[in-house]
Structure 1
């Protein structure tokens, strides 16, 4: 780890060699950010998520506990504040965006625009989907990406006074990256599968997962929720195939591949052992 740290600092130092206006403080900060992006522990991720969530809440209009949105969300969430070893907290942002997001500390935020559009069980699918991103540690990757973005931005700012002023003034940039970073197609499918299993386990209507995604598909990418949750129509078809018994979840596919791999390994080992025994018998 020490060697990796030195390499990263050397990289950022080389990037600014020969620049008269280099801000050494920003270069140092960029180096630290890059190291953190590689070596973030789960505890550090949790701590940063708590701070990021508080900042996001301070910049949004949070629905008071007495509002119809907050009361509805509380009813929908029920006792889902603790799932396994994960603790979740929920709030509604009063905004017409069709959006929702999660943080690594279990923060889940739902926009009132999404609540206006979805039925109760469709919202439960969205909540389960965000739970999945937390449980499967997709959010950890997002946070590391946000730190990497911070490192690059500071390295550039260190060599240009104008860029430096912009970088220093972007106090909310880190949180914006966390809230807006795009998940991979695989991560979205895994979160969908997590939510579908969650709905089945809790006795909610699993068909709502399909109808929720179909509703998102009608928005034609006009809302920010779609920029971080791509191809909702295809995802709806995929979940419908699972409900019809014509497809399996990503987790089941992984288990199937693992079982096949173990079978191949056992076959090869038995073949080698048999061959060795045969050769031993010839000697």
Structure 2
């Protein structure tokens, strides 16, 4: 109950600000004023609705996004060499840090990987072609870091607040909404395909180093993976380079951290 009161206290200034802004337009005609007031209150309402989405609903939204990604990309069958290799290098990793994991390979020739708030982890075959087992493990740890540090969750909540087409009206009491394929495409673009901030990358890199230590994997695989990304950077079209900062600088920083 304390949590709900806190949410209401935070949101009431948002609604109040919308009303004040509408009143300031009183010089307009009454019809224009009414329309403006409705638009502002509607926007404030969407912010309020997105802010009150529960953790369980967020997981459901991530699951919908994961299903959409799986629909768009071919998952390696269990006996496929990529699936066999990934199963071996992630043996003993059904969960980590309280997150149940569903780790699979995409048969996609891109150097990329991602994780979502429902525990989905997908590693692209193009990345597996270039990286050693331990380097793949570091990438997985890094992507789990984005989930555990709430980076994707914050992006999803922001997308729900900002896009009028993604109204979550009624979900607070009646469960998670089902998004259309086109809406899921927009969410995926905002949550998975956008450039990460330097602060988020640094935090996830640190998380990956801790992940490697906790699982008994060599930390040096992390800067080694960044070195490979830096060397491949001239080719263009690499997923991890589109969404992550300069890998050479990240490798330098991680080596310094490992030595410290």
Question: Shorter-chain TM-score: which interval?
Answer: 0.7 to 0.9
Question: Could you tell me how far 1:181 is from its partner in structure 2?
Answer: 2.3
2:160–2:166 CA contact under 8 A, matched in 1: no
> What is the Cα-based RMSD across aligned positions, in Å?
3.1
Question: In the alignment, what sits opposite 2:5?
Answer: none
State the SS of the aligned residue for 1:90: strand
Structure 1 length normalisation: TM-score? Answer: 0.70
Matches within 5 A, 1:1-283: 1=8, 3=12, 6=15, 18=32, 33-151=46-164, 170-171=182-183, 172-220=185-233, 222=236, 223-245=238-260
Distance 1:8 1:244, change over 3 A: same
Q: Distance in 1 between matches of 2:214 and 2:154?
A: 27
- The superposition leaves residues 38-84 of structure 1 with CA deviations (integer Å, 9 ceiling, x where unpaired) of 33332221111111111111111111111111111111111112123
Q: Rg bigger for which structure?
A: 1
TM-superposition CA deviations, 1:102-126 (whole Å, max 9, x none): 1111111111111111000000000
Distance in 1 (alpha carbons) for counterparts of 2:166 and 2:32: 17
> Alignment partner of 2:103: what SS?
strand
Q: Does the Cα contact within 8 Å between 2:138 and 2:209 map onto a contact in 1? A: yes
Cα distance, 1:239–1:11 mapped onto 2, change above 3 Å: farther
CA distance in structure 2 between the aligned counterparts of 1:73 and 1:28, rounded to whole angstroms:
50
Q: Which residue of 2 aligns with 1:261?
A: none
- Rate the CA distance shift 1:68–1:8 in 2: closer, same or farther, 3 A: farther
Q: 1:225-267: per-residue Cα shift (whole Å, max 9, x none)?
A: 112111111110011111222xxxxxxxxxxxxxxxxxxxxxx
Instruction: Confirm or deny: 8 A CA contact 2:90 2:137 kept in the other structure.
Output: yes
Q: In the aligned structure 2, how far is the partner of 1:12 from the partner of 1:174?
A: 29
How many equivalent residue pairs?
228
Secondary structure of the equivalent of 1:104? coil
Against the structure 1 CA distance between its residues 111 and 27, is the aligned structure 2 distance closer, same or farther, given a 3 Å change threshold? farther
Whole-angstrom distance in 1 between the partners of 2:71 and 2:16? 38
- Tell me how far apart the structure 2 counterparts of residues 169 and 121 of structure 1 sit (CA, whole Å): 35
**Whole-angstrom distance in 1 between the partners of 2:181 and 2:64:** 18
The whole-number CA distance in structure 2 between the counterparts of 1:66 and 1:28 is 54
Contact 2:15 2:45 in 1 (8 A): no
Taking structure 2 as the reference length, what is the TM-score of the superposition?
Answer: 0.76
Q: Which runs of 5+ in 2 are unaligned?
A: 1-7, 26-30, 168-179
Distance 1:4 1:51, change over 3 A: farther
Instruction: Say if 1:27 and 1:90 are closer, same or farther in 2 by CA, change over 3 A.
Output: farther
The alpha-carbon deviation at position 183 of structure 1 amounts to 2.0
